[in-house]
Amino acid sequence: MNKKTITIIIVAIAIIGCLMCIGIGVAIKVFSTPTQIAANQVNNENQSQPTDIIKTEIPTEITTSTNIPTEVTTPTDIPIIPTNTIENKIIPTGKIGDRIENNGIAFTILSAKKENQIQGFTPQTGNIYIIIDVKIENVSSEAEIPYNLFYFKIKDITNGYEYNPSFISAEPSLQSGNIQKGEMVRGFVTFEVKSADVEYLVIYEPLVFDGSPPIKVNLGKIP
């Protein structure tokens, strides 16, 4: 082959290559155009939609009816029932020698005296012994009732001091136990109190009284 022929062949190949490149480019453009158009249409549609959000105003003020009554009225014609009052049995304060009955007990202080010593025992400095002679009877319907030395106390009426029975006692001293129906017990009860020229009140309050007022005996001023 001569040079002329070779040159023609090369030119032809180059032309064919150029035509193929042009054809491929046109094909790519043709097939890509619908996709691009669709994408553009979507973008245009999105851009055409309004982006502002319409706000609906919700009333925040709640109005209440003013004709609803706020005061509760109570009828005035309901009768008021008075509370029953329980009156305690009044037990008059006795004196030496009086026989006082209360809740099935008959109580008597037969005598009262002061002592500076008892069986060789002396009270604390400034104190003195008061000795009372007591009789207690069971006049109730019960078969027996209790009695006890420590149901007693004595009170200085002037100054308000109260004293329990002393462990030092004149003999025969009152004990503790039960009194049978129709029977009685008797004995001495001794108190150690401050020495003073005042009136004294003996108070006897056994458990059987159960809310009933105690028995009280005014000793007056003991010589």
Residue range 88-94: mean pLDDT, rounded = 72
Q: What type of residue is 87?
A: E
Q: What is the pLDDT of residue 8?
A: 73
> What is the arithmetic mean of pLDDT over 139-163?
95
The overall pTM is greater than 0.85: no
Give the pLDDT band (50/70/90) at residue 75. Answer: very low
pLDDT at 27: 53
Token pair for residue 135? 């009789």
For residue 62, name the pLDDT band (cuts at 50, 70, 90). Answer: very low
Tens of pLDDT, residues 171-194: 999 999 999 999 999 999 999 999
Quote the percentage of the chain above a pLDDT of 90: 52
Three-state secondary structure readout of 90-122: CCCCEECCCEEEECCEEEEEEEEEEECCECCEC
pLDDT for 144 equals 94
Query: Mean pLDDT in the chain?
Result: 78
Strand partners, 216: 203
Backbone angles phi, psi at 22, to 5 degrees: -65, -40
pLDDT of residue 20: 74
Rounded Cα distance between 191 and 209, Å, is 23
DSSP type of residue 7: H
Burial of 126 (0-12, 13-18, 19+ CB in 10 A): exposed
The pLDDT of residue 211 is above 60: yes
For residue 105 the two structure tokens come to 């007990």
For 20, how many CA atoms within 13 A lie in the half-sphere containing its CB?
6
Q: Edge-to-edge, what's the strand order for the sheet holding 199-204?
A: 94-95, 215-221, 199-204, 152-156, 162-163
CB 111 within 8 A of CB 96: yes
Peptide bond into 172 cis (omega under 30): yes
Average of per-residue pLDDT across 202-208: 89
pLDDT exceeds 50 at position 80: no
Lowest mean pLDDT among 13-17, 80-84, 152-156: 80-84
Q: How many CB atoms lie within 10 A of CB 123?
A: 20
* The residue type at 157: I
Higher pLDDT, 106 or 82: 106
| Residue 195 DSSP SS3 | coil
Q: What is the mean pLDDT of residues 156-165?
A: 96
Over residues 127-145, mean pLDDT: 96
| pLDDT score at 78 | 43
Say yes or no to pLDDT of 122 above 80. yes
The percentage of the chain sitting over the pLDDT mark of 70, rounded to a whole number, equals 64
